[in-house]
Amino acid sequence: MINKQHITNRFLKYVKIDTESDPHNPAFPSTEKQWDLAKVLVEELKQIGMQDVDLDANCYIMATLPSNIDFDVPTIGFVAHIDTSPDFTGKDVKPQIIDNYDGKDIVLNKEQNIILSPNYFDDLLQYKGQTLITTDGTTLLGADDKAGVTEIITAMEYLIQHPEIKHGKIRICFTPDEEVGKGAHLFDVDKFGAAWAYTMDGSQIGELEYENFNAASAIVTITGKIVHPGYAKGKMINSVLIANEFIAALPQNEIPQETEGYEGFFHLHDIKGNVEETVLEYIIRDHDFNLFENRKKLMIKIASDFNKKHHQELIKVQLKDQYFNMKEKITPVMHIVNIAEDVMKDLGIKPLIKAIRGGTDGSQLSFKGLPCPNIFAGGHNFHGRFEYVPVESMMKAVEVIVGIAEKVTTFHKK
């Protein structure tokens, strides 16, 4: 159905374009280099025959595949993001192709002894005999979410080339800055004009998700007082030591590496400090809204208790909500999940319906009035040097998109 070399070449072209976003820049997009891929995609969408191709002032790309049927069905959409994570460099990506993977260690970088091993990443064994695209060990790959971009464009191209496959109107959008939590902030839902959509931003083949974390960020600023250490008794306040106490006061087992499933966590992802000032940057996650709220309250209480103990305001906590669990917006329209699940089953793909231990543009879009479950894009080990994607998984994702487009016509046909 889908040409393997064609989808591989398309994906390789995209990942070689650096689109790393910047969490510290409030601009849209947060990095100018995201425009580089956006402009390439605009031209490609026009070349394959998409209509209404538009790149707006904030780097959102929208386009239309017109209906080819003579009855009305809901307009649906597909969404992916063009930026890559600032957690690990996406500059000078040098992808490697592993044909007919044999289930053994993959040497990503011989000089630096970087090895992608099934002994550690046992998901690799699912893909014996398949074609894997990996990094060279020095960058991330960018399958999150350039695999999703690749799949959506390839699916639209396939539908255009095969008019015998009947479908209603389809809208697509590629967003900037998803990795820094802003991907849906300036998304124009009315302009998009879809009844619902799907983000192609999941991981392994079969993933179908309509629940995600409630998410917040926390910046904890600890103020100290520096004096000469030889004369510091009763005078010095070492903010680094207070930061250590603050960290220890949070539940020690409620961290990413100790949690799974529906369990939430506090994640300290950055720390900068000296005697005079230390800044801790956290993300807070929980699927349950009440537990999520309690996590934020706990951080504030710990800070308050420390301040009372020291009789001055040494610790300040700045909290910011990022996104919420889309389950409450999807549950009333569960048929949109059922359609995707049925298509996967028809294609012989086992649906893996589970909660996302993270977030996608879909979570924010659902709260903006565009219900938006998440479908696998095929990649593994996102945001790091061990990222990889099986080409066969991308091909299956294309088939799922095409299948959903076709299924909607039969599901809603009177």
Burial class (CB in 10 A: 0-12, 13-18, 19+), 262: middle
Q: Is 361 a catalytic residue?
A: no
Return the structure tokens found at 123.
């998901």
- Please tell me which residue in 83, 157, 209, 399 is annotated as part of the active site: 83
- Please tell me which residue in 145, 157, 178, 286 is annotated as part of the active site: 178
Residue 105 C-beta-side C-alpha neighbours within 13 Å? 9
- Secondary structure (3-state) at 310: helix
Q: Is 276 a catalytic residue?
A: no
Find, among 154, 168, 166, the residue nearest to 398 by Cα. 154
d(CA 381, CA 179): 15
Q: Do residues 93 and 135 touch, judged by C-beta distance below 8 A?
A: yes
Q: Which residues are within 8 A (CB) of 268 and not within 5 positions of it... i.e. 6 or more apart?
A: 247, 255, 280, 281, 282
Helix and strand numbers, DSSP H then E, in the chain: 10, 17
d(CA 123, CA 143): 16
Residue 361: count of CB within 10 angstroms of its CB = 28
Instruction: Label the pairing between strands 352-353 and 207-209.
Output: parallel
d(CA 45, CA 174): 11
d(CA 402, CA 139): 32
d(CA 375, CA 174): 15
d(CA 178, CA 100): 33
Region label for 181, one of left (φ > 0), alpha (ψ between -120 and 50) or beta (otherwise): left
Q: Point out the residues that are catalytic.
A: 83, 178
